[in-house]
Amino acid sequence: MERVFMPRAEAAMERGTILQWFRQEGEYVKQGDLLVEVEGEKASFEVEAPHGGTLRKILHKEGAEVAAGEILALIGSADELLPEEFSSSNTSSVEAKHDENQMPEERRINISPAARKMAEQMGVDYHKVKPTGPQGRIIREDVLEAYKAQGDVISQSQITEAKQSLTLEGPRRLTVERLSKSFRESIPVTLNADILMAKLQMLRENVRQEKKIHIPIDAFVLAAASRSLEKHQILNSTFNGDRIMIHEEVNVGVAIETQKGLIVPVVNDANKRTVLEIAKELSSFVDLASSGKLPASALDNSTFTITNLGHLGVDSFIPIINPPNSAILGVGRISRQAVIDQVDRVGIAEKTTLTLVFDHRVTDGAPAARFLSTIKEILESPEQLPM
């Protein structure tokens, strides 16, 4: 009897939600046939049958939240007997038995992986939590109730009745978890730089007229940042305990808003790409994200992040570092502002503000300032970028 497991499709994935089963129990499947669609922490993906045979048992219904590594289904011959632990009366014990490395004391506590993680994050002793799940299982709602009982959450009597209650799930939940961790652990320092955009705007207009291509500002900023990362490699790093891991590859994530929340697809080897290649990939990310078809693999392995709120009229803002990155660059709107030149003449110029937030555990202000200065130099003389 072959087992189908919940894959860890993303590096940060702890659990997935069953969206849709494509096959029913008793159906014959071939190796590679689509079995089930799963929503991970960042994107949805499909799980194929690892072996051919009859789909003998589906262990989790649609809508169920399943930890990575748990068993989803069983495939075998039509007349093969189900293992005893997967019989109808014992199916509920599957989740409790999936982790063979648990300590004996933890085996006696029937708690879901999601609930255990929540308890650890909230500082709740799950040994004292009253279970309400099936077969005496502690679920996430139980942990939340225990947390409220500790007095760390505002009681219902202290707040007005909510118009709508939104459950944190999928990409939004991952955003909350990752950025909360970053805010708690990193030591953020913020630097700002104003960029004169006249030459870059002229270059964009020339490309639009000559090649009929619209290049977004993000493509130029990403190209400039990736080349600055080549020169100032300490910003292309990850803080790991007592070590700073400087990455060889320059993989830049770009924050994109979707209906399901914020996602950060990654342009790999960005320092080796032309501006047009970057623009094309960013356009592809937006199209795939809008249709919900962006693969999970596109969201991993970033070494630096860029986020732009300028198109929403924001002059400048201070973003939160996207772990495991050590820095993030915020891009504000382009606006016409008064400037004074070197001979004290007043004029009007197009400018934008870049905001660099970096982890002080990784580097100091001067190296970070030089990194930001290099980006400024490139953007104010964009002809040096490969188109």
How is residue 173 written in tokens? 């939940």
Strands 65-67 and 34-39: unpaired
Four-residue CA torsion sign, 334, 339, 343, 345: positive
Per-residue exposure over 19-40, b if at least 16 CB sit within 10 Å of its own CB, e if not:
eebbbeeeeebeeeeebbbbbb
Out of 127, 214, 311, 360, which one is annotated catalytic?
360
Using CA atoms, how far apart are residues 69 and 144, in angstroms rounded to an integer? Answer: 24
Is residue 360 annotated as part of the catalytic site, yes or no?
Answer: yes
How is residue 228 written in tokens? 């600055």
- Where would I find the beta strands (DSSP E) of the chain? 2-5, 15-21, 28-29, 34-39, 44-48, 53-58, 65-67, 71-76, 188-196, 237-240, 243-246, 252-254, 256-258, 261-263, 266-267, 304-308, 327-331, 335-340, 346-359
Out of 152, 269, 287, 364, which one is annotated catalytic?
364
- Tally Cβ neighbours within 10 Å of residue 217: 19
Using CA atoms, how far apart are residues 294 and 284, in angstroms rounded to an integer? Answer: 9
Using CA atoms, how far apart are residues 78 and 54, in angstroms rounded to an integer? Answer: 6
Active site residues: 360, 364
